[in-house]
């Protein structure tokens, strides 16, 4: 609201709220829906007229007299450049004001009040101070104009340039990527080299950056890098699941820069430019073997960069970080983040899912369901609708299965209890002929489960008949060449196990006891 639009009632109310209720100028402006500049203007006029209390002095009880005085034009415009105002301008430390504005909750109004209280001789108005501060700030480099709250944001990105180094494993020259993180308030900078920009390197660089800062800022602002952002969107970008879990572990938040909005990541772009000039350019003639040597050299340059004095502001990145950012960073978690990878899979009909050519089981009731798999170097965790349903040790054996007994249906669990060795031991306990027939059944079935079932049926005959009769019946079946459970059951049913197969011994086939193609029972032990 302009001065001419302020009613006399509101002007008197300004005086009452200030002198009687002792409200601040900001509170008065908010209560009466006026601008702070209007409130400040009339309070200064009232002070110049000797008004220091409420009720008003007798000479101002007449509203006409009060109005004529309060609405009188100012002799010298606020924006004029009188010698006195020039002196006041020169006496104001705008660099300190600019640094103080970075503190959480700080306002220019509060700094103005502290300035007036600290220097009673300064009679500059709040609106004039605001004008002078804006003009001073406009002269700063573009990277310094924005006000970033202490401990609020860190801007992260990769440099456009890479550094050629020798891979110690292959002795070949490879290009190393350069990761950069810049705190918005102090411009305190972190940088390191990695082999790639993939998700594991991206997250590991973040973890080491937080450890370098000794704390965690409230917000991480990355570029729309595929490692961190699954889908770039101007308003609601999709964050990679693993990156989102990492951010949650450190108690911060992530807000990627909007596509085609360079101002959103101005700090990162300036930080990249500074690192390219201050670090990468300085290392261009040196030869490094491995990331360790390169990162040691980067750390030396980084220390020099952070302790280098500002040109237009007092102190350095290091001192500004110690004073502003560091006290406002959140504490690091007790345990550092353990990198986990994320994958959505569908459970096969055999209640297993595939992960890098290895198969892991889940409870059989989740067949054909889609689940979420989080896996590390050592563990594999499977979740269905947020609930953990299976955990396995990580295996790197391609084509193999990792199966938990409890995940199997009851029928499959019973089947798993049986092994060829168990059946042979059982047959041997009954008799040598029974053992030979068990071995034959195990060898001559297309699927092991079919052999198990035949063996169970054969060995179960010992419960209905005796072990002696069963072993004799097996001998009869072997000599007849009818090596099946049905043949043995038929022999027992008709009591044929004691009868000779060949009444005339001359008709008995000549079967050698030993032959190079006969393996014998000892083959299986």
CATH of the domain at 236: 3.30.420.10
Query: What does residue 370 show for φ and ψ, rounded to 5 degrees?
Result: -90, 130
Read off the pLDDT band of 237 (50, 70, 90): very low
Is 133 in a helix, a strand, or coil? helix
> Bridge-partner residues for 173, per DSSP?
166
- The Cα-based distances of 163 to 172, 200, 274, 521 in angstroms read 14, 20, 15, 67
By the 10 Å C-beta count (0-12 exposed, 13-18 middle, 19+ buried), 138 is classed as exposed
Residue 303 and residue 205 share a domain: yes
Measured between alpha carbons, how far is 350 from 361 in angstroms, rounded to an integer? Answer: 8
C-beta separation of 363 from 351 below 8 A: yes
Residue 473 and residue 401 share a domain: no
User: Any idea which of 45-59, 109-123, 156-170 has the lowest mean pLDDT?
Assistant: 109-123
User: Any idea which of 66-80, 150-164, 185-199, 359-373 has the lowest mean pLDDT?
Assistant: 66-80
Residue 431 and residue 403 share a domain: no
Q: Please indicate whether residue 461 or residue 452 has the higher confidence score (pLDDT).
A: 461
Could you count the other beta carbons within 10 Å of the beta carbon of residue 29?
21
Residue 192 has pLDDT above 90, yes or no: yes
C-beta separation of 364 from 403 below 8 A: no
If you ran DSSP here, which 8-state letter would residue 87 be given? H
Q: Which two tokens stand for residue 115?
A: 């300035």
Element of type H or E holding 179: strand 173-183
Residue 184 has pLDDT above 70, yes or no: yes
What would the mean pLDDT of 164-189 be, rounded to a whole number? 88
User: What is the reported pLDDT for 103?
Assistant: 63
Helix axes 8-19 and 63-70, enclosed angle (nearest 10)? 90
Residue 279 and residue 170 share a domain: yes
Residue 311 and residue 193 share a domain: yes
Domain end among 19, 41, 70: 70
Q: Please indicate whether residue 391 or residue 133 has the higher confidence score (pLDDT).
A: 391
Asked, for residue 24, whether it belongs to a domain, the answer is yes
- The Cα-based distances of 84 to 49, 78, 81 in angstroms read 21, 12, 8
Asked, for residue 111, whether it belongs to a domain, the answer is yes
Residue 169 and residue 213 share a domain: yes
As a whole number, the mean pLDDT across the chain is: 76
Read off the pLDDT band of 106 (50, 70, 90): low
Measured between alpha carbons, how far is 435 from 121 in angstroms, rounded to an integer? Answer: 113
Measured between alpha carbons, how far is 160 from 331 in angstroms, rounded to an integer? Answer: 31
Of 284, 303, 325, 294, residue with least CA distance to 179: 294
> 489 lies in which domain range?
418-524
Residue 106 and residue 60 share a domain: no
- Ramachandran class of 351: left when φ > 0, alpha when ψ lies in -120 to 50, beta otherwise: left
Three-point CA angle 439, 440, 444, nearest 5°? 120
- The Cα-based distances of 524 to 425, 438, 455 in angstroms read 11, 11, 16
Asked, for residue 321, whether it belongs to a domain, the answer is yes
Is 514 in a helix, a strand, or coil? coil
Measured between alpha carbons, how far is 291 from 296 in angstroms, rounded to an integer? Answer: 9
User: What is the reported pLDDT for 298?
Assistant: 92
Element of type H or E holding 354: strand 352-355
Domain end among 364, 380, 408: 408
442's CB contacts (< 8 A; 6+ apart) are: 420, 423, 424, 448, 451, 455
Asked, for residue 385, whether it belongs to a domain, the answer is yes
Of 303, 316, 331, residue with least CA distance to 214: 331
Residue 174 and residue 316 share a domain: yes
User: What is the reported pLDDT for 143?
Assistant: 47
Residue 390 and residue 513 share a domain: no
Q: What DSSP letter does each residue of 259-328 carry, written as one string?
A: TT-GGGGHHHHHHHHHHIIIIITTTTT---BHHHHHHHHHHHHHHHHHHSBPSSSSSBHHHHIIIIIHHH
Q: How do residues 24-81 score in pLDDT, each as one tens digit?
A: 777 677 666 677 777 888 788 777 777 777 777 766 666 666 666 666 554 433 333 3
- The Cα-based distances of 498 to 21, 333, 459, 468 in angstroms read 121, 81, 19, 11
Q: Please indicate whether residue 262 or residue 445 has the higher confidence score (pLDDT).
A: 445
C-beta separation of 175 from 193 below 8 A: no
Asked, for residue 281, whether it belongs to a domain, the answer is yes
Could you count the other beta carbons within 10 Å of the beta carbon of residue 207?
17
What would the mean pLDDT of 233-247 be, rounded to a whole number? 63
Residue 190 and residue 96 share a domain: no
Q: What DSSP letter does each residue of 407-454 carry, written as one string?
A: GS-HHHHHHHH--HHHHHHHHHHH-HHHHHHHHHHHHT-SSHHHHHHH
Asked, for residue 3, whether it belongs to a domain, the answer is no
Measured between alpha carbons, how far is 310 from 95 in angstroms, rounded to an integer? Answer: 11
**What percent of the chain is modeled with pLDDT above 90?**
10
Measured between alpha carbons, how far is 39 from 374 in angstroms, rounded to an integer? Answer: 60
User: What is the reported pLDDT for 295?
Assistant: 92
What would the mean pLDDT of 365-393 be, rounded to a whole number? 88
Is 408 in a helix, a strand, or coil? coil
pTM of the prediction?
0.49
Asked, for residue 334, whether it belongs to a domain, the answer is no
Domain end among 374, 408, 442: 408
Residue 263 and residue 346 share a domain: no
User: What is the reported pLDDT for 448?
Assistant: 58
Three-point CA angle 307, 310, 314, nearest 5°? 100
User: What is the reported pLDDT for 262?
Assistant: 52
User: Any idea which of 39-48, 99-108, 270-279 has the lowest mean pLDDT?
Assistant: 99-108
Query: What does residue 307 show for φ and ψ, rounded to 5 degrees?
Result: -95, 0
Measured between alpha carbons, how far is 453 from 159 in angstroms, rounded to an integer? Answer: 66
User: What is the reported pLDDT for 7?
Assistant: 65
By the 10 Å C-beta count (0-12 exposed, 13-18 middle, 19+ buried), 299 is classed as middle
Residue 401 and residue 297 share a domain: no
Query: How many domains does one find in the chain?
Result: 5
Is 435 in a helix, a strand, or coil? helix
Of 410, 375, 412, residue with least CA distance to 395: 375
What would the mean pLDDT of 269-277 be, rounded to a whole number? 81
Highest mean pLDDT out of 143-152, 356-365, 396-405, 449-458: 356-365
Q: Please indicate whether residue 96 or residue 479 has the higher confidence score (pLDDT).
A: 479
C-beta separation of 251 from 330 below 8 A: yes
User: What is the reported pLDDT for 341?
Assistant: 81
Asked, for residue 146, whether it belongs to a domain, the answer is no
C-beta separation of 158 from 175 below 8 A: no
What would the mean pLDDT of 197-206 be, rounded to a whole number? 88
Read off the pLDDT band of 249 (50, 70, 90): confident
């Amino acid at each position: 609201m302009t001065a001419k639009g302020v009613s006399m009632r509101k002007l008197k109310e300004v005086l009452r709220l200030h002198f009687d209720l002792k409200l601040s100028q900001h509170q008065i402006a908010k209560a009466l829906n006026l601008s702070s500049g209007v409130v400040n203007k009339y309070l200064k006029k009232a002070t110049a007229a000797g008004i220091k209390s409420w009720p008003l002095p007798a000479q101002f009880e007449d509203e006409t007299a009060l109005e004529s005085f309060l609405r009188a034009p100012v002799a010298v415009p606020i924006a004029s450049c009188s010698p006195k105002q020039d002196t006041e301008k020169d006496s104001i430390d705008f660099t300190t004001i600019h640094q103080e504005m970075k503190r959480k909750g700080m306002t220019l109004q509060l700094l103005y009040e502290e300035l007036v209280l600290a220097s009673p001789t300064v009679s500059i108005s709040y609106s004039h101070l605001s004008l002078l501060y804006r003009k001073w700030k406009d002269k700063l480099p573009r990277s310094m104009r924005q006000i970033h709250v202490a401990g609020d944001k860190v801007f992260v990105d990769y440099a456009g340039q890479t550094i050629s180094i020798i891979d110690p494993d292959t002795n070949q020259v490879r290009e190393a990527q350069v990761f950069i993180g810049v705190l918005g308030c102090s411009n305190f900078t972190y940088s390191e080299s990695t082999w790639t920009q993939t998700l594991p390197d991206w997250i590991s660089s973040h973890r080491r950056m937080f450890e370098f800062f000794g704390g965690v800022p409230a917000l991480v602002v990355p570029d729309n890098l595929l490692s961190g952002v699954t889908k770039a969107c101007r308003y609601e970008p999709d964050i990679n699941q693993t990156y989102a879990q990492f951010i949650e572990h450190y108690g911060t938040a992530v807000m990627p820069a909007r596509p085609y909005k360079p101002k959103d990541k101005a700090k990162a772009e300036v930080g990249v430019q500074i690192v390219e000039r201050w670090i990468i350019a300085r290392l261009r003639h040196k030869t490094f073997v491995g990331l360790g040597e390169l990162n040691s050299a980067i750390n030396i340059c980084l220390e020099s960069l952070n302790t280098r004095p500002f040109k237009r502001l007092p102190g350095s990145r290091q001192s500004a970080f110690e004073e502003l950012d560091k006290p406002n960073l959140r504490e690091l978690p007790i345990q550092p983040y353990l990198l986990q990878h994320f994958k959505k899979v569908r459970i096969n009909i055999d209640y297993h899912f595939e992960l890098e050519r290895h198969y892991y089981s889940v409870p059989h009731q989740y067949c054909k369901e889609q689940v979420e798999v989080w896996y590390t170097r050592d563990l594999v965790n499977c979740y269905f609708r947020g609930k953990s349903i299976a955990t396995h040790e990580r295996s790197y054996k391609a084509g193999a299965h990792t199966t938990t007994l409890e995940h199997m249906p009851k029928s499959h669990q019973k089947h798993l209890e049986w092994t060829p060795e168990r059946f042979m031991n059982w047959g041997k306990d009954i008799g040598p002929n029974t053992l030979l027939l068990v071995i034959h059944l195990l060898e001559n079935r297309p699927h092991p489960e079919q052999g198990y079932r035949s063996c169970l049926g054969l060995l179960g005959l010992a419960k209905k008949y005796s072990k002696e009769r069963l072993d004799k019946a097996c001998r009869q079946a072997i000599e007849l060449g009818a090596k099946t459970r049905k043949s043995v059951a038929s022999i027992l049913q008709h009591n044929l196990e004691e009868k000779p197969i060949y009444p005339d011994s001359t008709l008995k086939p000549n079967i050698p006891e030993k032959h190079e193609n006969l393996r014998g029972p000892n083959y299986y032990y």
